[in-house]
Chain A
Amino acid sequence: MTIYIDNKPYEVKPGKNLLEACLELGLNLPYFCWHPALGSVGACRQCAVKVFKDEDDKTGRLVMGCMEPVRDNLRLSIEDPGAKTFRDQVIGWLMTNHPHDCAVCDEGGSCHLQDMTVMTGHTYRNYRFSKRTFENQDLGPFISHEMNRCIQCYRCVRFYKDYAGGKDLNVFAAHNHVYFGRCENGTLESEFSGNLAEVCPTGVFTDKTLHSHYTRKWDMTWAPSVCQGCSLGCNTSAGERYGSLRQITNRYNGEVNGYFLCDRGRFGYEFVNSDQRILQAAIRPHYNGTTNKDHILEQVAQKVKNGRTIGIGSPRASLESNYALKLLVGEDNFYLGMSDTDHDHTSLALKILRDGPARTPSMQEAAKADVVFILGEDLTNTAPMLALAVRQAAQHKPESDAMGDIHVAAWQDAAVREAVQDKHGPVYIFHTVPTKLDELAEDIHRGAPEQLARLGFAIAQMLGADIVPVTGLSQEDAALAEKIAAALMTAEHPLIISGYGSGCDHMMKAAANIAWALQQKGRNPMLSLTLPEVNSMGLEILGGHRLDTALDVLRQGDADTVIVLENDLYRRADPHIIDEIFLHAQDVILIDHLYNRTAEKATVLLPAGTFAEADGTVVNNEGRAQRFYQVFVPKGDMQESWRWCLQIAEKAGITALQGLRNLDDIDLALTNGMPSLEPLQQLAPHAGFRINGQRIPREPHRYSGRTAILANENVSEPKPAEDVDTPLSFTMEGYRGEPPSPLIPFFWSPGWNSVQSVNKYQQEIGGHLHGGDPGIRLLEPHLNGGPHYFHEAPDTFVPIPGHVHIMPLYHIYGSEELSMYTPGIAQQAGEFCCLYLNPEDLAQWNIAPGNWVTIDLDHHACRLVATPNHWMPRGLGAVSAGMPHSPVVDLPVCVKLQA
């Protein structure tokens, strides 16, 4: 439909509001309380425009742009003097109490309030009286609080409570005293609290980790990156200054993470700045005390040349690094650096998604589901952003009902919420222990993972899957299964979620059966499977041998040298197994970035770049390949792991890697070697890509201090580093327009310094980026032929006398290796060394709660603290997975228990 803005006709999509329409057209209209993901409430009165009855109407009336839907032939004016004065006065009032502290405010330079104040022209304060002040609160290690700056837009509580389901941030007091905070000091409980720093239009909530090494947005070197925290692969922008990583911000991707990130992703970056980083290549024992890189490479090449070398890859290393290692040691000598359980789960997930007929959704698609069935997964802890998507999906049905009943648009946030109240769409959760999403669930079922999977199989059978019938279900269970099956059948977009979280692969099989059965019935199911790590899927697609077979090869003496790629082996198998690998291997060459337990025992250390110092590609749980780019050039010998492999290969004369020099070369070799990865060639522009002959600058145009940063070392400025791998430059020179979507280092637009400038990069508000969202899906469902169902449901879980079956419990803070180097995350990590057991089991074995118990792990005794947990079924125990120095690594496991 056509609307006229300042007498110029524009084509807009129906169903939008005037503010969205104006922003989509690239026009500047200030706003505060509106947020593309949160909708409109019309509270701040900042987006006022004049709307005219017809062509002859010269008076018009003021309306709030965010509350007025577009109509055909609507005439409005942004530039009308009346509307302009109104906006100027409104911001004048909003600013009456704003403190005089931009200079010491962390938001300054990326502040929506600053931008909007300049946009309205309110440059001088007219208010001369005293200002209201507030006491601040301590909100924990991630978020700083400075209430004086508040302009009462309510976006924080609308995000925190309404969108993310948080409970502990609220609005207090009345009239001009309203206060946004907790009822008392304390760490914000939500896993999405970091988004407050971006949602808040000013500096009330700011990033506390940034504060500890504060740098303005304009002073950072940015690069498009991908979060390394879990398998979802949220897009981030990483910023560096003076050689250390300073901040992670959200990088909008209309298919993956949208506008938000979880706290593990946002704050878990500090391992890059850790003092545990390996900075120089080293060899043990030292030769004359030197650590000459060439000399060490020569030594490594000698070892590799002998041909008795095996390579161990890593799910936290890029596709390129894993592939380079695979070629370096030879395909037959490449082992997947995953625990055997992780490998089983990942290969199963790959098989289900590649060979099965059900489609796996992107996260934004998942958020549009109308029925959600979560099978054995605590999403908040294993895939936090997917939990946020489920929260949106749970709102979906009551919202669309409300829109039908009271005829309001989806963006009319207050009206929709009033109609919805606390109704939820159908969500069903099967998990052994309570999860944070339980509050949304219509039905919850608890029990041992095998029991839950059996019920999942029963549901699949009720939906018509051709499998062995599940017998011995109680009447209640059967009724629940019927109910869920019926709900899934009536849904338009049912979403079934499972994954590695319970350590039971039958969960994924049951989920796949259900999704496939729905597909056979002509439904349109979505199947989402979580995976352990950022590139688990990519590594599995590359393929390799299991980790336990590496030990056999070393034991038999078929190999004597091991190259370990970005991996702490002590997190992949129980310590005694890894100790044996080190015992049998003559040399262990570690290419990694942190000095961990594996590094302590390695004979050669080669410093790898983290995601901030390397380029590479990772594949998320959806099978979406995404490129992350080097942010800065580190000091020392650090470089990409794949570059180490290339340099070793050159010295050793390995033909498979001859002539490869940069990222494009290795990606070409990768797609030639693996035709299924052919789409990677279209993933992002190649290194030779230029716009008007120019590179894309990583630094904003107002980057400061070029001629002073290194002047203390030498007053003559060094030549800036050149990037041979990508079309990005490490300087502020280059093309200043909008880059292609995979290459956007940071969001900025004239007059829009804050992250809200993302609206200038979108095809429509909340939609895809110009030119399509970055990332390419490698896995599409296999629609030809019927599904090959998993026929056998697992046997009923029966406790074994004297034994305990231990399942893993994952935690958002603690279970992931790298984020634990962030002090705030380590501080919030849960208890480790606890063995959770049913209190009745404890009583039966005469174990007092809190006492140490010994378990027998392959004849190696481990000690854990017995902790009662009444959610555990009899005979089942649980241990926090992935915690540092955890004695039990490969979970689940069945062990003998001694009091």
Chain B
Amino acid sequence: MLKRLGSGAAAAALLAGTAFANPYEPYQDTTLVVMFPAHPHYDAAIEVLDQFTEQTGIEVEVDQLQYLRMRERQTLELTKDEGDYDLISFVVFSKADYVYADQLENLAKYFMNPALADPTYDQGDLIDGYVQNIGVAGGTKGYLPGQLGSAFGVPFGSETSVLAYRRDIFEKHGIEAPETYEELLDIACRIPELEPGMGGMASRAASGHQASHAFLLHLAPLGGQVFDDNWEPIINNEAGVEAANALKTIVDCGPEGGTTFGPSEAAAAFKSGQAAMFLDSIAFAAGFEDPSESQVAGNVGYALHPMGVERASQTGGFGLAIPANAPNKEAAFLLLQWLTSKEGDKAVAMAGGNPSRFSTYADPEVQAKYPYSETFGEALKYADPDWRPIIPVWGQINSDIGTTMSQVLTEGLDPQEALDGVAERTRALMEESGYYTWQAAE
């Protein structure tokens, strides 16, 4: 009897000892199933997952999907009683849907758990624009942070916009990288004259999400917004029309066939020398510098997203979250924490991913390997978390903006008329969805 008690105590002591030494111990041999998008950042992340397994003994199985297809799959997965995924990467605009439907774990309880939370994690080092945009919900306007908001995800593979340009072409003609929208549009249309056969700027423009994204990219710096503070659509004001005209000028002076471009087609046009500029996510930079896929490697300069009435680059990309129906939530949190820790973030950045931490951008090793890191770190200061609303009905509004913008680009529809139509339809939709419930009756 005594003997048994003794061995039990010894075992308990041993267990306690190892638990202290290795917080990953209780989860060893767990296999996590994660859903990642097919995206350069996540390709880099997959490369470093082996390091995680080696350190922790937790196996990771990755399911990769095209990023616009993820939401459909996740919506089905998250509705099930018992999910198959332990950790998911979600596109920023899915945040509203998932949080609203109560399908993501609130991360507070994990960060409060001393057995799980790494005291050296340093939350303050995470890029705040990203955290606000992707991670937090429940504050101002519901989708932004605020006093009563809380975190449901951590940015991972987040991005902002920068201008990539052909340094060699610009130098040849004595052109400086554009600082303002006026200069940008001027250069965009001067390039085809100076370099016959080359388009000014390659941009997304395909009907639907892509055209909407491209339009919103210009809307924020030109001082516009989709809604005012009372959810009234103001997309059709002067700034909106200016943004639509800017997009039209860019596409008209851009490479041939530009109206069907998605981001990868636009990036491919820039890589193959068909365009002198590319204003889009920082995620594409690693591809531009890779000589095996890019003909312009080494000739690309990077500048901040040009300024309209203000500097406001986009925020977007992905975050990591734990589904409410995940089978292994605690181990999933450990992976989430590891990937977004200083160590994980740097490892992913060195493999070609987008850092989520200021310290990674400031890291000399990262800067040496990716010289553009400094510009990107600077660009992040102007990242605008509210450049596009993240509300449950956004999918429909986004698609309406996108198809209407495509009509402006290809069918010569008048921008003012087009945006008036969008505003009218958006207002009806918002009314139906109850956004004006609290407004005083007119």
Instruction: Tell whether A and B belong to one assembly.
Output: no
Partner-B contacts on A (CB < 8 A): none
Partner-A contacts on B (CB < 8 A): none
